[in-house]
Structure 1
Amino acid sequence: MNHPDEFAARHIGPDRAAQQAMLARLGVDSVEALLDETLPSAIRSDDSLALPAARSEAEVVAALRAMAAENRPRTSLIGMGYATTHTPPVIQRNVLENPAWYTAYTPYQPEISQGRLEALLNFQTVVSELTGLEVANASLLDEATAAAEAMTMARRLSKSPSARFVVHHDTHPQTIAVLGTRAEPVGIDLVVGGLDELSPEAGGCFGALFSLPTSTGAVVDWRQAIETVHQLGGLAVVATDLLACTLITPPGELGADIAIGSAQRFGVPLGFGGPHAAFLSAHTAAARALPGRLVGVSVDTEGRPALRLALQTREQHIRREKATSNICTAQVLLANMAGLYAAWHGPAGLRAIATRAAGAVNDLAGRLAAAGLTLRHDAAFDTITVDGVDADAVVAAARDRGIDLRRVDDTSVGISWGEATPDVRADVLAAFGLSAAVDPSPADLRPDWLPDGMKRTSEFLTQSVFHRLHTEHEMLRYLRRLADRDLALDRTMIPLGSCTMKLNATTEMMSITWPEFADLHPFAPDDESVGTRRLIAELEAWLAEITGYDAVSVQPNAGSQGEFAGLLAIRAYHRSRGDEQRTVCLIPSSAHGTNAASAVMAGFDVVVVATDPDGNVDVDDLDAKLAASGDCVAAVMITYPSTHGVFEEQITEICARVHDAGGQVYIDGANLNALVGLARPGRFGADVSHLNLHKTFCIPHGGGGPGVGPIGVRAHLAPFLPGDPLGGDDQPVGPVSAARFGSAGILNIPWAYIALMGPQGLRDATAAAILSANYVAARLADHFPVLYTGAKGRVGHECIIDLRAITKASGVTVDDVAKRLIDYGFHAPTMSFPVAGTLMIEPTESEPLAELDRFCDAMIAIRGEIDRVLDGDWAVADSPLRHAPHTAEDLLADEWTRPYRRSEAAYPLPSLRADKYFAPVSRIDGASGDRNLICTCDSLEALATLR
């Protein structure tokens, strides 16, 4: 592992000498001896992974180039919610390709996340103002998922007793398919039809979804339909297009309660289906029911405006089986790009882009109509549908000219235009058998191109951020200023338990922006995506080999969606055998909150199983719950290694007991970083697992997204993997995301990681992760109790340190330690999960020994500060722990009245004098922000001018 050409040696932080020093600290002779003390022998895999040998970085890039060359994207006019777009180079290079942005973690520590939070606030402002509703989240996974979230939100808020949710038939088919997947398990009667379904005689509804524009391109005034929904006691959801909203009356002004859609066309590549930021906006009164994340404005201890996540943050972890959403990973990186795209162009630029797209399509519409062809709708934005033609012939003729049109049905063809669509109007006309000279520029929009009352008259994006960043110099500096406010992996280790933050290598990342991968429409004919689909097939096969399962689906576009898909597979399997009574899902009390939320979404009844004092599943309580549930047992969900950071010795016995009861075993793959190359869930008793490719397999967190959460299953569950969104209603299980392969645009990253590491490198990485966690636990054990260890005193790939006794004696809380770590230049470990009053630490294999020691030195120094509180040198309220983090502005104030020196606040360790990060704000008052909810950026700017 010391050869400079071996990628694994560059990925794994501790080299051979460092590992020997770490082993000496632990009192073991070898890594293998440590693994023998850590992993139960019953789960160990004796054979090596049957994967290709490790390749060099040059070889991997060459292989990716070869697969890219197999892709042959045509000019896509398919539409269906996806549009060609230009990613501004300044945003591509300085955000999408910049580790300061893509290696950041979810902003749960807001003081060190002010830059990305401001970018998200911009995104929320864009969505709110363009849709005409007061609040928007930041963000959701894709448009179809957003529609499903809106459906369940409407059910929660509606006063109607009806179980019906009506979806207008002219809605994107993939959205209807995902709605169907989400509706049936929770007893929602999904009705797809026309406006005649909106009547008391039809059964009423708790909500309805309309599209503006519709899937086939109609611009419809939905005011009367929305009013009808309100009269029935329901909520009206409108799926919309942000670019269209610059020209047409937005949903909020039509009376909609909720607006949803995708921000993909705001500078985010097609990527064969994702990742793309979806959005959901609503009225202020519904803010507490909003799924996902909401950025709000609060103040810090000095009254400075400061941003943080507001209200229902991590709802699923708080409410568990009572949660209405399991959304955990969002699409933050893509939402930031979309918000910055809007700032780059400004309202005038967005209108110009929209007008060009609308002009091209309207020009085509006029020419097609003049030739006697039938247009389905009189009004359109960027999409038209031509009826009464031989659809197959027209689509084939267009394909011969390098163009993809949408085959709506046997006699109808759709045409959609995007920002980056080249002028192919003559070729489109030729595909319909028409010949005409086409002017270089489309004609001006006809005065009657929209119905009366459907042209936008309200202003939008008047805030200065959307007007001052139109030169590259200003945008470049703005992006740098935002990045400098944050802590990401490019500055420091992020030692979060259960949220593996490891190296996202440049070679792994570089191909995602290559146009051969990035410009693929998800519904393009298969001959255009040969290379990408080969990459996906290889990745699925490799993941199956790594996990010991028989089949893998990469469709779920987040870990939470992987949980949902895995549970749907279990549910469908039981039903296929006539065991519809099997509805009980057993979940340990220590599990991630998303487990319980996902189980309820999949139609299961959650029964909680206790954990014993050592953090393991209480087997006696498991037996009691199995006996009480009888033949209703459907599944058990277990995180392995456990959420407490240890390998449970009885895992194979637990699996056997559940199988004996007729249930299936779901192993949450959040902690797979402790298993790869050493143990395979599919072989030691599990039936299904989701994997977090944004953790173990190096897709970066991006500030809280993108993520990919594929599932692996044993052969008997393979028929119940997620279906094709365009595959029809006869599939055993429907789709869980809008695109067949989910966020396919970032699957290059884990493919490259596995190819670079090879079987031995993957195993070495897991071993190094376990070694690093045990080293940190050993260094800190004399200063902070380590809460849980395995049978031989070892932890897995993470450890929990217990501050409860320290807090009781000193008053110093986990929050105080977390905020004080910022002064030392570190992101905090996971706070108070899974045990309140503790910190869960995961160092990962990528951190070198020097960084591990730097973190341990910081924690030990903080323990020294706690001892000074205990000794009476400082009252806890006047200590640097309680006042942390210390901003430069605070430290440079003319007056200093605190009982500790400024140098103690700023430079608690000598090494910080050479390289110091200063938080831009001090500790943030979250409660103040919830009481005074501000979720758009105009008020932040106004607050800032008051200081």
Structure 2
Amino acid sequence: MRKEPMQDISAARFTRGQPHLRRYHQARWDEPVIFELSQPGERALLLPEVEPAIAATAAAPLPPGMRRAQAPALPQLSQNRVLRHYLRLSQETLGADLNVDIGQGTCTMKYNPKINEQLARDERISQLHPLQDESTVQGMLQVMHEMEHVIEEVSGMDAVSLQPRSGSQAIYANIAMVRAWFEARGEAGQRDEIITTIFSHPSDAACAKVVGYKVITLYPDADGYPDLAAMQAAVGPRTAALVITNPEDTGIFNPRIAQFVQAAHDVGALACYDQANANGLLGITRARDAGFDLCHFNLHKTFATPHACGGPAVGACAVTQALAPFLPHPRIVKDGQRYRLQTDEKTSIGKVAAFMGAASIVLRAYAWVMNLGADGLREVAEVAVLNNNYVMRQLLQIKGLSAPYANGKSRIEQVRYSWRELSEETGVHAEDIGLRAADYGVHYWTSHHPYIVAEPATIEPTEAYSRADLDEFVQIMAHIADEARSTPQTVTSAPHRCPTRRVDTKYLEDPRQWAMTWRAWRRKLAEHGAR
């Protein structure tokens, strides 16, 4: 009997030493919402009966009008069906633990160490309640207090609040402190303008508008840097603050940032630094070094805690000593060996969130920093910059892709690319390429508004990925660019191997066509008739 030679299966994954594109097909379960799976009488677990004395005690503080007349209509499922339901949904999801997640725009999607996840799930932290007596949460208050000192050191600032629940809320808090600062000086009525730049985070302008300021937006010069002459012309007695991201969302670092800050200070305004893009700056430069008065960091970006589909998060506000009295309260203070929450600062802007920070997020960030140390934080920045510039050099070899502005120069930790040339040649748009990428197990967000860069794609590798990971992502982008030229309809109709195809967004424009909850949707169907 003739024997077939053994085959090297792993060798078949390579051609001329280069790996083939990963064979990928996502699960599609057509999974109903959990309420539709409900079966009367099914139980995942049996809870012990509540003792009458405990039930009476628990209900006593509630006014009669707030007490339920009947139990909530929760779905009823067996344990194995609950497990199947959520595992199926997880199989229909791309996420940071499943794919090379370097294309999330300016969201700094880095690896979240699992030891930190274990810490956050320990019952000694997961069972804490924000209304506990201070004497029972001394350990958590110590972690928060010491994390504030870390942010002070990284930023060069004098005081920090971890209360804001997001980057945007931290921006809002900083601009609210700007307003309070000038109210205390009797200048609030005069100073009614905030200056920002078009490539700073959109939240900078949005939060300024929410606080009540008129927004003046600076556009870039020919090289993509914020226009210093335009800044100097815009500032004046009505300027309250400069609010700026640096590096901006193009990945370009403004080398004249100190001059921008000085231009604000020359007219008596404050300077506020949006450091959501700080992943390439840790241990290298600090907000205070450029003269800023306020700044913020996103712990859920720079400090390696999960984004978690938009929350929970923490935006850390950092300020100089002069602005410290305006920070949100409560503030954590240390009295001897004890920690307490201080709320008696009369000039404080008050609370911007219900409680003092998202404890599990702060703990994750604290553990990450303590593990790395000062030298490790600097290495994070250095590797992030190296990875980004390596990817840029590789991606720019793809015909039809460019990196507008600062031609021939390095970027910090991200680049806003443009597929304009490829789009004009093939009719394939940047969004099409991002959706087609999902067929290969990766993806990217096209960009943030405004779309100043045509056909944008913002790629940010961070320090979390190896050269092999980066090469795989680049190879996928190059392959899709080839597809755009050979079979553009394959790209424009993508994704093909994912559970969901393209969403028709026209329905989102008509409130009659959607609802925020399943029960609200059922009510609408009953009112208008199912189609």
Contact 2:243 2:271 in 1 (8 A): yes
Q: How far is the alpha carbon of 1:596 from its aligned partner? A: 1.7
Counterpart residue identity of residue 478, structure 1? H
Q: Helix, strand or coil for the counterpart of 1:778?
A: helix
Q: CA RMSD in A?
A: 3.4
| Selected match of 2:234 from 614, 619, 625 | 625
Q: Tell me how far apart the structure 1 counterparts of residues 432 and 55 of structure 2 sit (CA, whole Å).
A: 60
Aligned twin of 2:56: 363
1:859 aligns with 2:447: no
1:327-353 CA deviation, whole Å, 9 max, x = no partner? Answer: xxxxxxxxxxxxxxxx99989989x98
Q: Is the 8 A contact 2:174 2:295 kept in 1?
A: yes
Is 1:639–2:245 an aligned residue pair?
Answer: yes
Aligned pairs, number: 483
Partners of 2:325 and 2:345 within 8 A in 1: no
Tell me: CA distance 1:922–1:790, structure 2 relative to 1, closer, same or farther (3 Å). same
Map 1:205-354; keep pairs closer than 5 Å: none
Q: 2:90: which partner in 1?
A: 483
Corresponding residue for residue 261 of structure 2 = 655
1:775 maps to what in 2?
390
CA displacement 1:813-872 (0-9 Å, x = unmatched) = 11210111011110224436453421010011101111100000001111111222xxxx
Paired residues for 1:425-464 under 5 Å: 450=64, 456=69, 460=73
| CA separation of 1:764 and 1:362: change in aligned 2, threshold 3 A | closer
The one of 790, 796, 801 equivalent to 2:417 is 801
CA contact (8 A) 1:723 1:731 kept: no
Note the alpha carbon deviations across 1:436-473, whole angstroms, 9 max, x for none: xxxxxxxxxxxxx946x986479845xxxx23x3x322
Which of 163, 168, 173 is 1:560 aligned to? Answer: 168
Deviation at 1:731, TM superposition (A): 4.4
Aligned twin of 2:432: 816
- Tell me the CA shift for residue 362 of structure 1: 6.1
CA contact (8 A) 2:222 2:405 kept: no
> 1:378: which partner in 2?
none
Q: Which residue of 2 aligns with 1:603?
A: 212
Q: Distance in 2 between matches of 1:642 and 1:832?
A: 12
Q: Give the CA deviation at 1:778.
A: 0.4
Q: Flag the 1:114–1:590 CA change in 2: closer, same or farther, 3 A.
A: farther
Structure 2 Cα separation of the partners of residues 361 and 114 of structure 1: 46
- Give the match for residue 382 of structure 1: 59
Aligned partner letter, 2:114: T
After superposition, give the CA deviation of every residue in 1:541-562 in whole Å (9 maximum; x if it has no partner). 0111011111111111111111
CA contact (8 A) 2:404 2:418 kept: no
| Mapped partners of 1:782, 1:559: distance in 2 | 34
Which amino acid is 2:207 matched to?
S
User: Match for 1:886: what amino acid?
Assistant: H
For the residues of structure 1 that align with 2:395 and 2:328, how far apart are their CA atoms?
44
Checking the alignment, whether the CA contact within 8 Å between 1:494 and 1:829 is kept in structure 2 is no
* CA-to-aligned-CA distance 1:77-124 (integer Å, 9 cap, x gap): xxxxxxxxxxxxxxxxxxxxxxxxxxxxxxxxxx98999x989x76xx
Distance 1:112-1:615 versus aligned 2 partners, 3 A rule: farther
AA matched with 2:279:
N
1:702, distance to aligned residue in structure 2 (A): 1.2
Q: Which residue in 2 is equivalent to 1:263? A: none
**TM-score, scaled relative to structure 1:** 0.47
Show structure 2 runs of 5+ residues with no match: 1-24, 331-340
User: What is the distance in 2 between the residues matched to 1:113 and 1:540?
Assistant: 43
Q: Distance in 2 between matches of 1:510 and 1:829?
A: 30
Q: Measure how far apart 1:363 and its partner are.
A: 3.1
| Alignment pair present for 1:530 and 2:145 | no
The answer as to 2:502 corresponding to 1:923 is yes
CA–CA distance in 2 between the matches of 1:348 and 1:632?
Answer: 65
Question: Structure 2: which amino acid aligns with 1:748?
Answer: L
Contact 2:105/2:444 (8 A) holds in 1: no
What percentage of aligned pairs have identical amino acids?
30
Q: Which amino acid aligns with 2:397?
A: D
Distance change (3 Å), C-alpha of 1:606 and 1:353: farther
1:687 partnered with 2:305: no
Q: How far apart are residue 789 of structure 1 and its match?
A: 5.3
The 1:696/1:861 distance shift into structure 2, 3 A limit, reads same
AA at the equivalent of 1:813: H
What is residue 696 of structure 1 aligned with on the other side?
A: 302
3-state SS of 1:607 partner = strand
Amino acid corresponding to residue 468 of structure 2 in structure 1: A
What is the TM-score with the length of structure 2 in the denominator? 0.82
Correspondences of 1:571-582 after superposition (within 5 Å): 571-580=179-188, 581-582=190-191
1:730: Cα distance to partner? 3.4
Instruction: State which of 370, 374, 378 in structure 2 corresponds to 1:755.
Output: 370
Shift in alpha-carbon separation, 1:498–1:578, aligned structure 2, 3 A? same
CA distance in 2, matches of 1:867, 1:585: 45
d(CA) in 1 for partners of 2:377, 2:130: 31
CA deviation after TM superposition for structure 1 residue 383, in Å = 4.5
- Measured in 2, the distance between the counterparts of 1:767 and 1:662 equals 35
Q: How far off its partner does 1:478 sit?
A: 1.5
Residues 1:933 and 2:488 are matched in the alignment: no
Shift of 1:812: 0.5
Question: In the alignment, is the contact (CA less than 8 A) between 2:160 and 2:319 conserved in 1?
Answer: yes
| Separation (CA, whole Å) in 2 of partners of 1:347 and 1:623 | 71
Other-structure match for 2:153? 545
Q: Residue 927 and residue 354 in structure 1: after superposition, are their counterparts in 2 closer, same or farther (change >3 A)? A: farther
| 2:349 alignment counterpart | 733
Which amino acid in 2 is paired with 1:693?
L
Tell me, yes or no, if the aligned pair for 2:416 and 2:459 is still in contact at 8 Å.
yes
User: Residues of 2 paired with 1:647 and 1:582: CA distance?
Assistant: 28
The structure-2 alpha-carbon separation of the partners of 1:454 and 1:790, relative to structure 1 and needing over 3 Å to count, comes to same
Aligned partner of 2:395: which letter? Answer: L
Task: Return 5+ residue gaps in structure 1 as ranges.
Answer: 1-110, 127-342, 365-380, 385-415, 417-448, 869-873, 888-918
Is this contact kept in 1: 2:109–2:301, CA < 8 A? yes
- Give the secondary-structure state (helix, strand or coil) at the position aligned to 1:667: strand
**1:703 match: secondary structure:** helix
C-alpha distance 650-506 of structure 1, shift in aligned 2 (>3 A): same
Equivalent-residue separation in structure 2 for 1:118 and 1:565 (angstroms):
41
Encode CA deviations 1:36-56: one digit per residue, 9 max, x unaligned: xxxxxxxxxxxxxxxxxxxxx
CA distance in 1: counterparts of 2:405 and 2:153, whole angstroms: 29
Partners of 1:513 and 1:882 lie apart in 2 by: 42
Contact 1:614 1:789 in 2 (8 A): yes
| 2:488 matches 1:882 | no
Cα displacement string for residues 750-808 of structure 1 (whole angstroms, at most 9, x for unaligned residues): 11100111111111111111111111110011224432454861111011221123222
Give the structure with higher Rg (CA). Answer: 1
The residue type paired with residue 862 of structure 1 is I
1:705 offset after TM fit, Å? 1.4
Give, in angstroms, the shift of residue 577 of structure 1: 2.3
Match of residue 222 from structure 2: 613
Letter in 2 for 1:552: V
Q: Residue 587 of structure 1 contacts residue 637 of structure 1 at CA under 8 Å; is this kept in 2?
A: yes
Q: Is the 8 A contact 1:648 1:790 kept in 2?
A: no
**Structure 1 position 492, deviation (Å):** 0.7
Aligned equivalents of 1:491, 1:726: Cα separation in 2: 43
State the match for 2:443 in structure 1. Answer: 827
Name 2:7's counterpart in structure 1. Answer: none
Q: 1:21-36 residue pairs with structure 2 within 5 A?
A: none
Name the SS of the counterpart of 1:634 in structure 2: strand
- Structure 2 Cα separation of the partners of residues 669 and 729 of structure 1: 26
Q: Which amino acid aligns with 2:92?
A: R
Q: Which of residues 787, 802, 820 in structure 1 aligns to 2:403?
A: 787
Distance 1:363 1:591, change over 3 A: same
